[in-house]
Structure formats: C-alpha cells, structure tokens
C-alpha cells in the first residue's frame, strides 16, 4: 500500500533538475507562425525566459541563420540573459549541432525543457533526438508555434506519444516556485506573473493594490 508524504513528485520541474533550451525565437520564423499570435508568443517567451533567469536555470539560447536569413532572437529573451552568447546553427534540428550538444553536456542535466519555433520542425527534432538518447523531455506548448493550428497540434501529439511531457508557460513559472513560503523568490515570481501572467497577473496586482494581500500570508 502506498504511503503519502508531503514531498514533491520527481516529475515536477525544479530550478536544479533541468536545462531550458530556447530555439529560433526569431523574426523570420514568427512571420509565418499562425497557431499563436505574435503578442502572446512574445509574452510567453518573455515569461519563461525571465523565470529561468530569475531561478538561475541553465539556459541555452540558439538561433538558425541569424545573420543571413532569420533575424535576431526576440529581445524579450535576450534581455533576460544580458551578454549571454547565442548558438547560431545551420541545422533545423538543434540536437544535430555539435556546439549546442557540447553545452548540453557541459550543463549536465538529464531533463531538457524546450520552447521555440516551429513546433513541427525545430521542437520535434531535438525532442525526439533527446528522448532517443535517454533524456527526459518537456515542451512548453504555449511558448511554441507553427505555420497552422494543425501543424502545431499534430507536432504536440507526435511528441506526447513519444514520451514528451507538455506544459504551459505560466505552469513553468509556478512550478519553479511551487511554495509561497519560499520567500527568497516570492517577489521574483509574483513580479514576473504581474508583468507577463495575463489575467492572473492582473489579479495579483489588484489584490496587492486594493488590500495589500499576498499569496501564502
């Protein structure tokens, strides 16, 4: 018989148990993205980038043909990691780029969280490749996008069937925090949520402004 204990499950995301890989959040890639609007996409990308930076999650930023075709990575991401080098690739599959893989091995985490453009190519490729090599893989579904709803949804289904675990951008932030009693990151988490967390963030702002309320107190 199972015994319940007040401890988190091993499948939950924590700052010290994964690496985040942000892939091809670039102008040219976003022009053809239709499964999510550009404003929401940029907002969600900013949310996870700021969450990862704030919680000191090892993060790889990678682009494809940045100078010659696809353009710069979203400033919402690069501003969260000032001065961090970007890995520019020729391969559509990030997992086939030797420099990126050297960085994955340097970081040394067995769990990889992915987000980027497009879901069916630039996320499916590394997701299935990493799974094949024994990594656990998560994909932040609402921080990915594709040329159509169909393309995004079929890509997510394909990855889920293969063993990838889907999550959302706000879920990523709150799973990193997970306990409002963690006061050292409380202001960080609620600050990111207020700025990028949509209606939830508005609710936090309202509660704090009107009643000086806070979660966990």
List, for residues 32-82, the tens digit of each pLDDT value: 999 999 999 999 999 999 999 999 999 999 999 777 777 899 999 999 999
Total tally of structural domains belonging to the chain: 2
pLDDT at position 107 is 98
Residue 60: CATH number of its domain: 3.40.50.850
Are 101 and 64 in a shared domain? yes
Are 214 and 172 in a shared domain? no
- Could you list the residue range(s) of the whole structural domain that residue 149 is in? 19-178
pLDDT at position 36 is 98
CA dihedral 12, 13, 18, 22 (to 10 degrees): 130
Mean pLDDT of 171-196: 94
Are 164 and 205 in a shared domain? no
Are 135 and 200 in a shared domain? no
Residue 151 lies in a domain: yes
Are 87 and 136 in a shared domain? yes
Are 72 and 125 in a shared domain? yes
Are 65 and 159 in a shared domain? yes
Sign of the alpha-carbon dihedral angle for 161, 135, 149, 201: positive
Residue 105 lies in a domain: yes
Are 88 and 187 in a shared domain? no
The chain-wide mean pLDDT, for the chain, equals 94
List, for residues 75-119, the tens digit of each pLDDT value: 999 999 999 999 999 999 999 999 999 999 999 999 999 999 999
Residue 2 lies in a domain: no
List, for residues 188-214, the tens digit of each pLDDT value: 999 999 989 877 777 777 677 777 766
The CA-to-CA distance between both ends of the chain, in Å, stands at 35
Interatomic CA distance for residues 190 and 211, integer angstroms: 16
Strand spans (E) along 6-58: 19-23
């Amino acid at each position: 018989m199972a015994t319940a204990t007040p401890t988190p499950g091993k499948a939950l995301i924590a700052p010290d148990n994964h690496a985040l890989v942000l892939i091809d959040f670039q102008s040219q890639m976003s022009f053809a993205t239709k499964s999510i609007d550009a404003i929401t996409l940029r907002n969600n990308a900013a949310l996870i980038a700021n969450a990862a930076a704030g919680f000191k999650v090892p993060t790889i930023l990678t682009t494809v043909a940045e100078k010659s075709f696809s353009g710069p990575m979203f400033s919402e991401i690069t501003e969260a990691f000032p001065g961090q080098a970007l890995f520019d690739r020729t391969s559509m599959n990030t997992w086939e780029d030797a420099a990126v893989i050297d960085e994955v091995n340097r970081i040394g985490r067995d769990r990889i969280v992915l987000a980027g453009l497009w879901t069916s190519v630039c996320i499916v490729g590394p997701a299935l490749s990493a799974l094949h090599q024994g990594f656990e893989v998560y994909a932040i579904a609402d921080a990915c996008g594709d040329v159509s709803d169909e393309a995004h949804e079929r890509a997510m289904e394909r990855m889920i069937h293969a063993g990838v675990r889907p999550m959302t951008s706000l879920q990523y932030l709150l799973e990193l925090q997970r306990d409002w009693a963690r006061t050292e990151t409380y202001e960080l988490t609620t600050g990111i949520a207020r700025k990028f967390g949509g209606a939830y963030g508005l609710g936090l702002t309202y509660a704090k402004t009107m009643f000086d309320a806070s979660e966990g107190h």
